[in-house]
Amino acid sequence: MTDLFSAYKMGKFNLSHRVVLAPLTRCRALNGVPQPALTEYYGQRSTEGGLLISEATTIDQEGIGYPHVPGIYTKEQIEAWKKVVDAIHAKGGLIFCQLWHAGRASHKSFDGIELHAAHGYLIDQFLKDGVNDRTDEYGGSIENRCRFLMEIIQAVVAVIGSDRVAVRISPMSNDVDTMDSYPLNLGLTVIEKLNTFQVDMGLKLTYLHVTQPRVMPSPEQIGTEDEEAKFMQTLRRAYQGTFMSAGGFTQELGMKVVTDGDADLISYGRIFISNPDLVYRFKINAPLNKYVRETFYTHDPIVGYTDYPFLN
């Protein structure tokens, strides 16, 4: 039986389990430079054959969305990230760098990159008809609204190859007032284009990462747990490749989704913050530390960041 602890071949990468660290903004990179605390934080959560996704990382000064989020566009930032990546690799782990725009992470020792096309940021603003009011070839029809994302994917794949590129989308979400009138249609259209792109390239992207939100105001009135599950199942069945799901999963729900074949990988956020040894705790069904929400976005390099206790 397949479950969270079953091995998985993700393209050219061999994973020993299916519990993934979700990309989580933590605001600990003072002045945009990863500090030693980041090396400790990611190292704590690394496991042999486990996949981590970095917090959203900017590729230029104009892309900064919050104070003290990391960048990857100066020599100092690049050298700092190398230390983080080396700490993860030393434990046998893998890390993909999540970029808010297309960028140059492949040259900084990361195993791959995740293009952030979700949660109301730049690419998502092109995808959603609730905010995209352009009248050129990037606005209007759903075909046009998907154009920006696909052009970015094509450009990045041309540089580092499709087997090191992943994409995150959130067609149902309404983060920062970005919403779409028909999120299912949007999600299926993006997936159709990704499938076609993969066939044309003859190689698959590393994975598609889809957020399952809790609140989804739309004409389709999606909102109950059953309706959310059916929505995600529809996208999963449509996508021809590795499907990662995110959105408030417990161990039990993650197990069920993987066992039922509704996702290949599950990314965990808040409970991974408070449990650096989350994979081990899951394996032995140990109790979890409670997270302290008030410390999620402070700039303290220790409190609420690297001081959550391990089980042993």
Catalytic residues: 121
What stretches of the chain show up as alpha helix (H) in DSSP?
A: 36-44, 75-90, 122-127, 142-145, 147-160, 183-201, 225-238, 251-259, 270-274, 278-284
Place of tokens 């390239």: 201
Structure tokens at 247: 């959105």
C-alpha span between 57 and 83 (Å, rounded): 16
Asked whether the beta carbons of 70 and 77 are under 8 A apart, the reply is yes
- How big is the CA angle at 97 (ends 95 and 103), to the nearest 5 degrees? 145
Label residues 282-299 b or e (16+ Cβ within 10 Å = b): beeeeebbebeeebbbee
CA–CA distance, 129 with 180 (Å, rounded to integer): 5
Is the CB of residue 266 less than 8 Å from the CB of residue 258?
Answer: yes
